[in-house]
Structure 1
Amino acid sequence: MKSELGKLLSNVETVAVIGCSANKYRTSYHIANYLQEQGIRIIPVNPNYDEVLGEECYDSMADIPDDITIDVVDIFRDSEYTADMVREAIDWSEKSGQKPVIWTQLAVSSDKAKSLAEENNYQYVENKCMMVQHDKAVA
Structure 2
Amino acid sequence: MFENPSPQAIGALLRRARTVAVVGLSPNENRPSHRVARAMQGFGWRIVPVRPAVSEVLGEPAYASLDDIPEALRREIDLVDVFLASERVGPVVDRAIALGLPAIWLQDGVIDEVAAQRAREAGLTVVMNRCVWRDWVPLATE
Is the pair's TM-score, using the shorter chain for normalization, greater than 0.5? yes
Give me the whole-angstrom Cα distance separating, in 1, the residues matched to 2:71 and 2:98: 11
Give the CA deviation at 1:82. 0.8
Q: Which amino acid aligns with 2:15?
A: S
Name the counterpart of 1:87: 94
Identity of aligned residues (%): 38
Q: Which amino acid aligns with 1:48?
A: A
Question: Which 4+ stretches in 1 moved above 6 angstroms?
Answer: none
Q: Which runs of 5+ in 1 are unaligned?
A: 94-98
* TM-score, structure 1 normalization: 0.91
Structure 1 vs Structure 2 CA RMSD: 1.2
Does structure 2 retain, via aligned residues, the 8 Å contact 1:7–1:137? no
1:1-139 to structure 2, matched below 5 A, reads: 3-68=8-73, 69-93=76-100, 99-139=101-141
- The DSSP-based 3-state class of the residue aligned with 1:3 is helix
Give me the whole-angstrom Cα distance separating, in 1, the residues matched to 2:102 and 2:96: 8
Give me the whole-angstrom Cα distance separating, in 2, the residues matched to 1:90 and 1:34: 27
Give me the whole-angstrom Cα distance separating, in 1, the residues matched to 2:26 and 2:14: 22
Give me the whole-angstrom Cα distance separating, in 2, the residues matched to 1:50 and 1:88: 21
* TM-score, structure 2 normalization: 0.89
Name the counterpart of 1:96: none
Give me the whole-angstrom Cα distance separating, in 2, the residues matched to 1:138 and 1:76: 22
Q: Which runs of 5+ in 2 are unaligned?
A: 1-6
Distance 1:115 1:7, change over 3 A: closer
Q: Which amino acid aligns with 1:111?
A: E
Q: Which amino acid aligns with 2:92?
A: M
